[in-house]
Amino acid sequence: MPGPFDSTSTSVSVLDGSLLLPASVVRARAVAGGDEDALTLAAEAAFPVLAAAERAPDVLVLVTTSPPYDEGGSVQALAELTGLAGDVLALELTSSLRDGLTAVRLAAALAAAGGATVLVCAAHRSRGEKDAGDGAAALLLAAAGGGVATLRPGPVRAEELRDRWRLAGEAGRDEGDPSFVWDEGLPRVAREWELEGPSLVGPVARTAARAERALGGPGDELAAAVGVIGAAHPFGRLLLGLDRPQVLAAVAGGLGEALHADPGPGAEAVAARARAVLAAPRSDTLPEPIDWARLTPYASGPRSRRERRQDLRLEGSRCAGCSRLVFPPPVTCPHCGSRELAPELLARSGTVVTETRDHAYPVSRSTGMAVVELDGGGRFYGQVVPSARVAIGDRVRIVPRRLHDGGGAAQYFWKLAPEAVA
Amino acid sequence: MPIANEVAIIGSATTAFGVHHDRGYLELLAEAAFGAVDDAGLDLGRIGSAWLGTAEPGLTGLVGDSGGAVAEAIGFAPRPVTRVANFCCTGMEAVRAAALDVAAGEHELVLAIGAEKMRDVTSRGSLVARTANLTHPTIAKGRTAPGQFALLANAYMGRWGTSRETLARVAVKNHEHATRNPKAHFRSPITVEDVLAAPLVAEPFGTLDCTPTTDGAAAVVLASVEWARANADHYVVIRGFGLAVTQGYYTTFFDETNDFLGFRVTREAAAVAYRQAGITEPRAQLDLVECHDCFTVTELVNTEDLGLCGRGEGGALLESGATAFGGDIPVNVSGGLQSCGHPVGATGVRMIAEIGDHVLGRAGERQVEGARLGLAHTLGGPGAVSTVCVVGAAD
């Protein structure tokens, strides 16, 4: 039954996309470190897409059911971490794992209306759900025509139906009776939509998998390998299968949305990158927990704002006098005394100059610290991500992490991680 | 007039360094101050002004965050007192400020006091926790003093092939030295095995590579050499005093010219002090050195930066025995920071008093025979500030 939303005029092109999974997969669940959250995962997913993009996107959308802030907004910090902060439209969709597909529909409308390019970052940091994993995916979308794939929004649904939910103020989730969820939840909606061979995503992984089998879907290799990565899961499945036609549907809590995807030139390469991420070797031990109990850090809202480029963008200064790149951005060049300093983003990769493992810093049992010569000049000195060890001469990446919650606000900064397996 | 060769140290005193659960900041300050004035053979009423070095009054409820602590502790009102602070060079800064006061002719007799009360809290709750919690919310997180010097240790061992055991032997030497210093915090000899087996602090350092967290105070009384010559029973002369400041608190470790094998700031401070003191061959001309051995590797790089040996030769100099008591250039015969501890404001003043005692021939069991010229060095930041003070016999 074609409706106003089921039309080729609301199609949108995928320019690029990337899948991001954390360093550990334990009992087929991807597990992020204690210093990772939906924002850091989303930012890391966005980095390769932004690095390859011809121009900065006009719209940024964060999609997650695990945002760091319940009120006050989370996406602005993602805008900073991704270098998009400023005059950018930034939205967040945080109600349901269906929301990624809703973001595609929004992007289609925005692209059709004004030619906007839209970066959608979906991420999940699980709060103990047994079938959930941690991860993120980013899609760069533009007006239909060209791109590596075309997405055509399908039917939508909103009706009262609780399969898995968390009441405001409650810590734990509630879940409906499995037979009720089977009879009235995602499987029913998918049947009613008469989708052919759909890839189904729902909050209860077992139910979604069974329904998908019943309707002749391809099977969810992502959920089998790392768990359901929340709102990022539909994108993850989309990217892994981008080189073939797909029908994707996500239905959670009576909110549903479907999507048709058709590959174009270049789809194979994007899908291959996503499959390489899924296939990359990962640790099978849980990340070292972070014990924050002894840290009560000084924090300041004015300082956090004033120094947001240093903290959140990893921005240094290039000296006009001596051409050196200096971080943190100085007031006066420490090398030549010039005050002609231009902001410049640091390279997020480099080589370890020296390092130590500190057992005195009052967080966890020990903290790796290293000094890194950055590839584009300048140096960074900071923490190594928990669980990782680095040695002098090692290649490392600079990754965004949640450093602490001093002053009751999430303080993001950069840490050092071993270079990704190629 | 300048400081060098014109300002004399006419009295000095140091409290026992250690954990003084029975005495507070003001009592330690008073013991050192009255002791120095007594040593100078003066009444307190003769002293014109005072300079107070205390680095971390935040550890003691802000007592010592202004010169008022001196008025309160020793009844000095209404004379001028200023508190100075410059990282771990704070104590030596108090002496330098007092020397400038004398050199300027503003006051005839000036007291410099360094005092620090660090152990009203546990050693882990002391500077480490303060640094972790109160410093910069992003740039400083993960930094500790041992961790920052450990970055040097690993770079140094990697670059020069220096062994972990050689680092440990700095601690072994300085703990042995402290057996002859009744005022040191630690006075028991240790072995290389003890150092290697100690609990880890920041790899490769264990607790015995690190200065302990310590209470203490020290003071000196300064006058012009001219005044001393006419009036003092005994005195020594400041022959050179260099202060260099090259970095901020957060910048040393981001500086791409930093090779992590030594500290430019020490080399700059030493160059000033050596020029003033006419020192061209430090190892030959100096009789002893008190340097900032906050961690074992620091003494090795200090001996290089102070020109006692070439770059990368600090380990060999140590292993040769030259820097041990009885060697040709004994380093830290007091036991150094390794064994005396490092009550930050007190340390530099203690070092200058130590050199003075040797030059006066009154250093007791640890006397370096015939000492006429010695050097005291502190390093702070780390790598941001350094002071080098050369103290010699009266002409």
Q: What is the pLDDT of residues B148-198, one digit of tens each?
A: 999 999 999 999 999 999 999 999 999 999 999 999 999 999 999 999 999
Catalytic residue among B88, B89, B210, B291: B88
SS percent in chain B: helix, strand, coil, step 5? 40, 20, 40
Alpha-carbon gap, residue A149 to A261, rounded angstroms: 7
Distance CA A212, CA A216 (A): 6
Q: Do B253 and A371 touch (CB under 8 A)?
A: yes
Omega of the bond leading into A328 within 30 degrees of 0 (cis): yes
User: Which residue of chain A is at minimal alpha-carbon distance from B257?
Assistant: A335
Residue type, A192: E
Beta-carbon contacts below 8 Å between A and B: 126
- What's the CA gap between A104 and A259, in Å, rounded? 9
- Are A364 and A370 spatial neighbours (Cβ–Cβ below 8 Å)? no
Contact A300 B135 (CB under 8 A): no
Nearest CA in chain A to B129: A362
What is the complex's ipTM, to 2 decimals? 0.96
Would you call B265 helix, strand, or coil by DSSP?
Answer: helix
The minimal CB distance from B154 to the residues A298, A299, A354 is found for A354
Which residues, other chains included, contact B136 with Cβ-Cβ below 8 Å and sequence gap of 6+?
B250
Q: Considering B175, B342, B358, B377, which one is annotated as catalytic?
A: B342
One-letter amino acid at B54 equals T
Kindly state the helix (H) or strand (E) to which residue B316 belongs, with its residue range.
helix B314-319
For chain A, say whether B159 makes contact (Cβ under 8 Å): no
Question: CA-CA distance, B274 to B4, in Å (whole number)?
Answer: 10
B226 has a chain A CB within 8 A of its CB? no
- The answer to whether residue B278 scores a pLDDT higher than 60 is yes
pLDDT of res. A422: 40
Strand partners, A92: A62
What are the φ and ψ backbone dihedral angles of B37, each rounded to 5 degrees?
Answer: -65, -40
A94: tokens are 């945080």
Residue B124: list chain A partners with CB under 8 A. Answer: 360, 362
Q: What pLDDT sits at residue A172?
A: 84
Q: Is A298 on the interface with B (CB under 8 A)?
A: yes
Q: Choose, out of B124, B128, B138, the residue to mutate when testing the contact with A (most A CBs < 10 Å).
A: B138
Task: Dump pLDDT digits (tens) for B96-118.
Answer: 999 999 999 999 999 999 999 99
Question: Catalytic site residue B342?
Answer: yes
How close A343 gets to chain B, by Cα (Å)? Answer: 16
pLDDT of residue B130: 78
What integer pLDDT is reported at residue A9 of this predicted model? 58
Please state whether the peptide bond connecting residue A178 to the residue before it is cis, i.e. omega within 30 degrees of 0: no
In the predicted structure, residue B124 carries a pLDDT above the cut 80: no
Provide the pLDDT for residue A34.
94
pLDDT of amino acid A3: 52
Contact A355/B151, CB-based, under 8 Å? yes
- Three-state SS for chain A is CCCCCCCHHHCEEEEEEEEECCCEEECCEEECCCCCCHHHHHHHHHHHHHHHCCCCCCEEEEECCCCCCCCCCCHHHHHHHCCCCCCCEEEEECCCCCHHHHHHHHHHHHHHHHCCCEEEEEEECCCCCCCECCEEEEEEEEECCCCCEEEEEEEEEECCCCCEECCCCCCCCEECCHHHHHHHCHHHHHHHHCCCCCEEECCCHHHHHHHHHHCCCCCCHHHHHHCECHHHHHHHHHHHCCCCCEEEEEEECCEEEEEEEEECCCHHHHHHHHHHHHHCCCECCCCCCCCCCCCCCCCCHHHHHHCHHHHHHCEEEEECCCCCEECCCCCCCCCCCCCCEEEEECCCEEEEEEEEEECCCCCCCCEEEEEEEECCCCEEEEEECCCCCCCCCCEEEEEEEEEECHHHCCEEEEEEEECCCC
Give yes or no for a contact between A321 and B159, defined as CB atoms under 8 angstroms apart: no
Q: How far apart are CA B317 and CA B294, in angstroms?
A: 18
Q: Do A357 and B202 touch (CB under 8 A)?
A: yes
How many Cα atoms sit within 13 Å of A181 on the Cβ side? 22
Q: Do A199 and A249 contact (CB within 8 A), yes or no?
A: yes
Cβ-contact A100, A120 below 8 angstroms: yes
Among A294, A378, A411, the residue with its CB nearest the CB of B137 is: A411
Element (H, E) at B12: strand B7-14
Choice among B244-258, B340-354, B361-375 with the minimum mean pLDDT = B244-258
Minimal Cβ distance to A362: which of B129, B154, B247: B129
Contact B230, B46 (CB under 8 A): no
Residues of chain A with pLDDT under 70: 1-9, 420-422
Residue B158: which of A303, A380, A392 has the nearest Cβ? A392
Give percent above pLDDT 70 in chain B.
Answer: 100
Give per-residue burial for B226-257: e unless 16+ CB within 10 Å, then b: ebbeeebebbbbbbbbbbbbbbebbbbbbbbe
Average pLDDT, chain B: 97
Contacts of B128 in chain A (CB under 8 A): 360-362
What residues of B are in contact with residue A373 (Cβ under 8 Å)? 256
How close does chain B come to A337, measured CA to CA in Å?
12
Q: Outline where DSSP puts E strands in B146-302.
A: 200-202, 205-206, 216-224, 236-245, 288-290
- Give A353: exposed, middle or buried? Use CB within 10 Å, 0-12, 13-18, 19+: buried
Measured between CA atoms, how close is A314 to chain B, in angstroms? 11
**Chain A nearest C-alpha distance from B142 (Å):** 6
User: In angstroms, rounded to a whole number, what is the distance separating the alpha carbons of residues B394 and B231?
Assistant: 13
- Residue B109 phi/psi, 5-degree rounding, is -130, 125
pLDDT at A347: 96
Q: Which residues of A touch B256 (CB under 8 A)?
A: 324, 373, 377-379
pTM of the model: 0.95
Mapping DSSP to helix (H, G, I), strand (E, B) and coil, where does residue B353 land? helix
Chain CA centroid to CA B297, Å:
16
Contact A356 B151 (CB under 8 A): yes
Distances (CA, A) of A305 to A138, A299, A331, B69: 26, 11, 17, 38
Mutate one of B254, B294, B297 to test the A interface: name it (highest A CB count within 10 A).
Answer: B254
Give Cα A37 distance to the centre of its chain: 9
CB A253 within 8 A of CB A288: no
* DSSP string for B26-78: HHHHHHHHHHHHHHTT--GGG--EEEEE-S-GGGGTTTTSSTHHHHHHHT-TT
Report residue A51: phi and psi, to 5°. -65, -35
Q: What is the pLDDT of residue A293?
A: 83
CB contact under 8 A, A328 and B129: no
Cα separation, A416 vs A381, whole angstroms: 9
Those residues whose C-beta lies under 8 Å from the C-beta of residue A23, and which sit 6 or more positions away, are A33, A282, A283, A287, A385, A387, A388, A417
Give the span between the Cα atoms of A134 and A230, in whole angstroms.
8
When pLDDT is averaged across residues B355-368 and rounded to a whole number, the result is 98
CB-nearest to B138 from A361, A373, A411 is A411
HSE (side-chain half, CA atoms, 13 Å) at B138: 27
How many angstroms from the chain centroid is the CA of residue A292?
24
pLDDT at A2: 46
Examine the pLDDT at B248 and tell me if it is beyond 80.
yes
Q: B124, A360: Cβ pair inside 8 Å? A: yes
* Element spanning B275, H or E: helix B264-277
Residues of A whose CB is below 8 A from B204: 356
